Homo-oligomer: A and B are copies of this chain.
Amino acid sequence: MDTKPLILVTNDDGITAPGIRTLISVMETLGQVVVVAPDSPQSGMGHAITVNNTLYLNKISKEDSLTQEYSCSGTPADCVKLAVNEILKRKPDLCVSGINHGSNSSINVIYSGTMSAAVEAGIEGIPAIGFSLSDFSWNANFEPLIPFVKKIAEQVLKNGLPEGTVLNVNFPKPKLGEIKGIKICRQANALWVEKFDKRQTPFGKDYYWLTGEFVNKDKGEDTDEWALSNGFAAIVPIQFDMTAHHAIQTLNSWELS
């Protein structure tokens, strides 16, 4: 009987990204790994699912590989759904997503394909973690993250996660030097102030590129942004009950009848 933990690995940068390669290598030291990841980059896909189109799965590992790998034509959330329903023989003990090339801290969690995969796993009752590095470079150095990724995954395998939560783990910019440690944080109150780059096609039609500036409005020292700017890895527990419970009382005072 196989008593090794079963670990599902996915991401949103696509199955060939260096970030997921690092994540796979760490997970292989902890359990039996199955990889189901998008066949192309899916950044900014949020919690998109494919409802009006077909989905393809391609097994890309050799039959005798220890780790089985599948590429999928869909979104990160699709990958998790397909893995759980069509590939894995049992519910995995852990789902990890990433390591994303670029931060998914604070409000970025809303737009993040990496985190949508983790959230999808969480909805299905699987302990799940999304990992991201604050470096968009394809050649980012993931090496220093390895002991932290391993430690966090071990703790989740050992302790599970509070019901209805998944972990959003972000690592600081490499230029800040050695990672100083891990902080448990809340999501900072931040946003993107967009600036559209307006251009014209060669045929005279206007079009836009979405660009913008990240603005952190939150001075708290218990936020993920604070931890990251001070050289710490940030863990934010995320929930998918989006109810603003504190607002229910206010709304109940409205005249709605």
Contacts and interface: CB of A to CB of B under 8 A. Distances in A.
A255 B82 CA distance: 33
B243 A49 contact: no
Interface in A39-86: 41, 43-52, 54-57, 77-78, 81-82, 84-86
Contacts of A181: 256-257
Q: Please give the count of copies of this chain that the complex contains.
A: 2
Contacts of A30: none
Interface in A105-127: 107, 109-111, 116, 119, 123-124
Interface of A: 41, 43-52, 54-57, 77-78, 81-82, 84-86, 107, 109-111, 116, 119, 123-124, 151-152, 155, 159, 161-162, 164-165, 167, 181-182, 184-187, 189, 191, 194-196, 198, 205-210, 235-248, 250-252, 254-257
Given A46-B47, A54-B208, A165-B244, 14 more contacts: A46-B48, A47-B47, A48-B48, A50-B210, A54-B207, A55-B209, A110-B242, A124-B191, A152-B256, A164-B244, A185-B248, A187-B243, A237-B244, A240-B242
